Amino acid sequence: MKVSWSHCVLKVRDIEAMVQFYCDTMGWVVSDRGPMGPPGAPDIVFLTGSSSDHHQMALVATRGDEEATSLDHNAFRVESLSDVLAMHGKLTADPRVEGILPLTHGNAISVYFKDPEGNGIEMFCDTPWHVKQPAGLVWDPSLSEEELLAWVEDQYRDDSEFRPMDEYRADRAKAFGEN
């Protein structure tokens, strides 16, 4: 299974100042933003400078004054849904792993979990679709690959930005001046 680092999510105190800092410094743009849950929930802001990833970093306004670490999670991309399902099975059998959460963002099918020291990790594969973020639904690990993909499509087909990922990436590549 090939595992590639994809993005990190940081918990921050002053989200507007931090967004501005990373946009100024990295030349990134905001690809999406919104509350992580019902209206009034803390905002998550997605940042990217590349068409290959909807976000290369995301910032969430959830860091308390006393909180020592700003890391919410590091995310790693695998190449297929069967890799995600295999990883879910492997993690479930590993007594060192806690907090396993199978979650789909519509544009990705993920497993979230904690390493033995409590650091957040996301392992995911892309889906064929772009979906407005943030979005998240718990998926059922007992489904087959085909059933799971069809279920995800059903859940997000009516999303306001639902469209083929290739189309979304081509538009982003144009916007970033990539060839």
Is 53 near Fe ion (CB under 5 A)?
no
CB of 7 to Fe ion, least distance (A): 6
Q: 23, 30 in Cβ contact below 8 A?
A: yes
Is 47 near Fe ion (CB under 5 A)?
no
CB of 38 to Fe ion, least distance (A): 20
26 or 150: CB nearest Fe ion: 26
Q: 122, 111 in Cβ contact below 8 A?
A: yes
Which one of 8, 75, 87, 148 is in contact with Fe ion (CB under 5 A)?
Answer: 75
Q: 104, 137 in Cβ contact below 8 A?
A: yes
Binding mask 119-158 for Fe ion (x = CB under 5 A): ---x------------------------------------
Neighbour-count burial of 5, counting CB atoms closer than 10 A to its CB (0-12 exposed, 13-18 middle, 19+ buried): exposed
Q: Candidates 18-26, 43-51, 69-77, 167-175: pick the segment binding Fe ion (CB under 5 A).
A: 69-77
Is 44 near Fe ion (CB under 5 A)?
no
Closest CA to 6 of 54, 56, 44, 46: 56
Is 59 near Fe ion (CB under 5 A)?
no
Closest CA to 148 of 73, 97, 88, 77: 88
